[in-house]
């Protein structure tokens, strides 16, 4: 990994660029460039955008997935403490597309901010739009309870899901 900082990470407009070179995780080759941009305008609510370009995952069996996307996250609680367990993050916007070798693709788009408390293993609130050849619906992560339950809705039919 090559990490390049444009300036002090906490300064509005500064960037951190991560480039992967011959990088593997669990025998999967991971490629692409990730850029984090600090967009904080109020120090009490840090905010940043993460943009992935030229993303590519090659599985041990040779299957290849390309992906790209951008998402914006802000920290809405726990900023003034040194305790991680009181931190809350919201993905306020974002879209990510994954494409297989056969050009099948899936696109995920934030419809309502996704809320993730550090002390909870799962996203607990928010909605995500899912678009692909077979799927065209919405994932609802719930009302904020720290659980692994949600729903997927397609054609006005609601299916319970477990994360």
Residue 91 main-chain phi, psi, to 5 deg: -90, 105
Note the pLDDT of residue 144.
Answer: 95
Which of 11, 86, 71, 16 is closest to 41 using CA atoms? 11
User: pLDDT band for position 10 (50/70/90)?
Assistant: confident
Note the pLDDT of residue 24.
Answer: 97
Which of 17, 13, 24, 14 is closest to 3 using CA atoms? 17
Structure tokens that stand for 98 in this block: 């994954």
Burial class of 49 by CB neighbour count within 10 A (0 to 12, 13 to 18, 19+):
middle
Q: What is the pLDDT of residues 18-59, one digit of tens each?
A: 999 999 999 999 999 999 999 999 999 999 999 999 999 999
Average pLDDT value over all residues in the chain: 96
Note the pLDDT of residue 110.
Answer: 98
pTM (two decimals): 0.91
Structure tokens that stand for 105 in this block: 């693709």
């Amino acid at each position: 990994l090559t990490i390049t900082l444009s300036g002090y990470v906490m300064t509005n407009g500064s960037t951190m660029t991560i480039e992967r070179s011959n990088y593997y995780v669990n025998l999967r080759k991971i490629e692409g460039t990730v850029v984090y941009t600090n967009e904080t305008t109020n120090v009490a609510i840090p905010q940043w955008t993460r943009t992935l370009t030229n993303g590519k995952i090659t599985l041990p069996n040779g299957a290849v997935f390309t992906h790209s996307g951008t998402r914006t996250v802000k920290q809405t609680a726990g900023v003034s403490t040194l305790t991680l367990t009181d931190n809350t993050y919201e993905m306020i916007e974002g879209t990510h597309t994954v494409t297989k070798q056969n050009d099948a693709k899936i696109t995920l788009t934030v419809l309502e901010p996704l809320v993730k408390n550090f002390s909870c293993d799962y996203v607990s609130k928010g909605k995500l739009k899912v678009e692909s050849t077979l799927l065209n619906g919405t994932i609802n992560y719930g009302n904020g309870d720290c659980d692994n339950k949600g729903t997927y809705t397609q054609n006005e039919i609601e299916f319970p899901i477990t994360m």
